[in-house]
Amino acid sequence: MNIDSIKNGIVIDHIQAKRGMEIYEALNLKDLECSVAIITNAKSDKMGRKDIIKIDQAMEINMDMIGFIEPNATINIVKDNKLVDKYKVKLPEEIVNITKCQNPRCITSIEKDLNQIFTLADKENQVYRCKYCEMSLK
Ligand code: ZN
């Protein structure tokens, strides 16, 4: 993969086509001062089309957030123009404060200070259930 345009930073690769913007927004990348590039519909042997995000700055990223949106994504860490680390994200077993329970009678809808916790109930179908009321997300 071409990492020429980045000196120190992060490349999020193998994002399903059209889903890059969702990750961009979920990670609040618009708030960064550095340059951020989203490449959409890049050709991929494995995926047909994919999205790629390049962040020109070393930063902590929320792996659970990326794994929840795109469990097939890979994270590439670039230092001094070299790829120094590469790993796959995975579907998190538990997500905290990444999304909200939609059940109006759920205790998290009433007690706003509670953490929004979901646990992975069905890995195959990526089903998460609210820890409090068991309502599923998808
Ligand atoms: Zn709930």
pLDDT in tens, 63-81: 999 999 999 999 999 999 9
Residue spans of the chain under pLDDT 50: 1
Q: Residue 3: what pLDDT? A: 52
Instruction: Give residue 1 CA to ligand 1 midpoint distance, Å.
Output: 41
Q: How many CB atoms lie within 10 A of CB 40?
A: 15
Instruction: Give residue 85 CA to ligand 1 midpoint distance, Å.
Output: 37
Instruction: Give residue 137 CA to ligand 1 midpoint distance, Å.
Output: 9
Instruction: Give residue 66 CA to ligand 1 midpoint distance, Å.
Output: 22
Q: Whole-angstrom Cα distance, residue 106 to residue 26?
A: 23
Q: What is the pLDDT of residues 3-16, one digit of tens each?
A: 567 899 999 999 99
Q: Residue 2: what pLDDT? A: 53
Instruction: Give residue 101 CA to ligand 1 midpoint distance, Å.
Output: 5
